[in-house]
Structure 1
Amino acid sequence: MTGFLTHLEEDIKRLYAQLQISGPAYREMQRIASEFRVWVHYEETGSMMIQHQGLYSIILNRSLSPEEQWQDFAHELCHVLKHTGNHFKMNKLFRELQEFQAKQFMYHFCVPTFMLLKMKLPTLRQQAILHIAQTFHVTWAFAEKRLALFEQRKAGIRFQQEFTSYLMKAEKVAEKEVVYQT
């Protein structure tokens, strides 16, 4: 499946390389924040990112589990790295787009595709979900969704490979027919 990473998957792989992180990064949350000059605060409020005078803070809900905080951190980190503008003043559709992008980033940052590709996942779905959850320090629901995304991606790549192969064979057949007709 290598060579078929999406732009987001490649971006995440580059980020991990830039940060010199080769395994699951949940233990590196404070270092990651520091690398991007982001302050992390824990409050009794919903998780969010705040930017004031060029300084960034990520506020994480202190009553969440460490796994949920890690997931929220990744979501908010996307806003720091990729988004601009006041979330409350922007067009609803643009805000929804940014939230969709942050959610996709979160799934891929917490459980990177390039790492999943190197793993031997258990055959039984429940065991595979548990393995992802434990390895990457994410919740069961998160691991289940991430596995589904990964499986969809692999199915899409297989389809792309098979379709490309079919087109190449059809092209060769067409070339032979042209040769025989002349």
Structure 2
Amino acid sequence: MTGTRFVYTRSDDPRAQPLVDELSREYDERYGLNDGIPSSAELSRYPAERFAPETGGAFLLVERDGEVVAGGAFKRENESTVEIKRVWTSSAHRRQGLARVVMAELEREAAARGYTTVELTTGARQPEAVALYLSLGYRPLYDTAGDLEAIGYLPFTKRLPELDD
């Protein structure tokens, strides 16, 4: 993608704020209140440090011609596993394959750091995310024929390919 670049930064970087704001609105619209708490509260569940390199994490922004158009992150779960979080594409830039670009870059970065497994979850009201993860080879850890609303959080896992030295 011409004019596209990856920027590794912190989740509290002001450049990320428009994406985080839009993601917050989307969570609240899709899921509403959860025990009286807006669903977007999930986005402040982890401190910025969990996505920082010094704790084994990464926070990625994708810029195109100087504008942040997508992003995502991972946090270290253990010595071999990361959890991908907050994959997002700006609503003005959807349907261009940017989520795939984010996922590929996060997987590449995780593998380069020696991680071998990726975990992630999505919600039952995000069918486009479910379809994306399945198309990228993620294995669902739930009954795909079950009542997704009753299941709630939909966990996935994927083994990363080993990088050649």
TM-score after normalising by structure 1: 0.25
- Greater fraction strand: 2
TM-score after normalising by structure 2: 0.27
Compare CA radii of gyration and give the structure with the larger one: 1
